[in-house]
Amino acid sequence: GIKPIIGCEMYVAPNGLLSKNSDTLDRKRHHLILLAKNQIGYKNLMRLISIAHLDGFYYKPRIDRPTLKKYAEGLIGMSACAEGEIPSAVISGDLLRAEKLALEYKSIFEPGDFYLEIQHHPKFPNQALANQGLIKIAQKLSLPLVATNDVHYVHKDDAAIQDILLCIQTNKKVQDLDRMNLMDFELDLKSPKEMAGHFPEYP
């Protein structure tokens, strides 16, 4: 009884997908969520994923905004987590850049098809700051908001299993103190009631 929505979390290259220098800027990638809303969008999503792997690959598969603009028909865009281009600008204190980026993304997608994404991750110190800025930008630029949650597993009890898999991936032990640890981030699939409870002022 679940309707699947086909999409992908893409990486956006700040200097363009063909720029592959060893400096940190080209190794930095921003997240962007793309969802196919129809058959055209599905085909364009496949094109973008292919381009990201064949042309843009540098540590990770990447696209850029000009390429996205070329294949944006039929796609819904979301600004992603705190690693997205717009939330990152908000967190760094550059609200003007964040607004400029939001306007550019708004122009890339069809009217009403680009959303600013707010999340509830109280353990992540910059999430509240990102949410505040994104809400202001949404109001100023008449952009819709969407409340999401990073989902790495279905049930809360699965957090420990994911922690073990993360240790395997990063060649660490569970008892190591100096390792990536996502146990406190509540990355389970939230119910509609839970999500509504996190954002009562933005129904």
pLDDT digits (tens, 9 = 90+) for 8-46: 999 999 888 898 887 777 888 899 999 999 999 999 999
From residue 107, give the alpha-carbon distance in Å to each of 101, 110, 155. 10, 7, 38
Sign of CA dihedral 172, 176, 179, 185: positive
Mean pLDDT within 112-139: 93
Give strand pairing partners of 119.
148
DSSP for residue 23: S
pTM of the model: 0.90
Torsional class of 80: left (φ above 0), alpha (ψ -120 to 50), beta (otherwise): left
Residue 97 CB contacts under 8 Å (≥ 6 apart), including other chains: 89
How confident is the model over 168-198, as pLDDT tens digits?
999 999 999 899 888 888 899 999 999 999 9
83: Cα within 13 Å, side-chain hemisphere: 12
The enclosing H or E element of 35 equals strand 30-36
